[in-house]
Structure 1
Amino acid sequence: MLDLTVHCLAWMLSICTPRPRGRHRLGVIPPLRFTPVPPPRFTEILDGNASRLVRPYILGAAEHRRQRERRRALYLATVGIDVGPDHIHGVPVAAR
C-alpha cells in the first residue's frame, strides 16, 4: 500500500513539475527513498484519576447572575434605559 502511494505521488509530481531543459538537465530521475517509520507503541495505561478535570468556562451561580445583569444592562442601554452601577470607582453616581 505504501509503495502504491509513493508511486502515485511520484507520478503526480512528474506531471505537475516542469521537465528540465538544456545542457544541465537531469539524465535519470533517481528513485524515491522512503524508509517507513513504525507507529509509536503506548506501553503505559493512562490514569484518568491522576489529572484534575478543570473546565474554566463553567461559571458558578454568582458569575451567572453577574453576567446576566451585565447583559440585561447592555440590552437596556441599546433601548435608551440606563441601569448602570450605583457606584463607579467608589464614587456614588446619581441616577438621571
Structure 2
Amino acid sequence: MSDPIVRFLGRVLALFAPRPRGRHRLEGIARALIPPPPPRFTERLDGHASPVVRPYVLTPGERRAQRERRRALYLATLGIDTGPRHIHGVPVPVAAR
C-alpha cells in the first residue's frame, strides 16, 4: 500500500469500523479487498506520432445535408412535411410528400 490515499482510507476504516472478535481480524480482510494501485504511466507521449484530426469538421456536402435534415425537423414541428425527394433512388411525386 504505497498510495497515501489508500493508507489514509485504511486508517479511517480501522478507526470507525467495528473490530471483529475472535481469530478473524479486520486487517486481513481489508488487505484482501483493497486492490493494488495501478502502475504509473511513465512514458512521454510523442505529439508528432499521431496526426491532428478534427472529426467534427464537416465537408460542405455534409454540412448542407445536415442543414437540410435540421430544416426538415424544424418544419415537421410546425406540421409541414417536406419529405425526401428520392426514396431508394426513385423520385417521389410532389403529392405524396
Say how many residue pairs are matched. Answer: 83
Bigger CA radius of gyration: 1
Matched, 1:16 2:42: no
Aligned to 2:77: 78
Deviation of 1:45 after TM superposition, in Å, equals 7.1
Aligned to 1:91: 90
Which has the larger share of helix?
2
Q: Against the structure 1 CA distance between its residues 56 and 13, is the aligned structure 2 distance closer, same or farther, given a 3 Å change threshold?
A: same
Q: Give me the CA root mean square deviation.
A: 3.2
Q: Against the structure 1 CA distance between its residues 71 and 50, is the aligned structure 2 distance closer, same or farther, given a 3 Å change threshold?
A: same
Aligned to 1:35: none
TM-score (norm 2): 0.61
Name the % identity: 49
Structure of greater relative contact order (alpha carbons < 8 Å, 6+ residues apart): 2
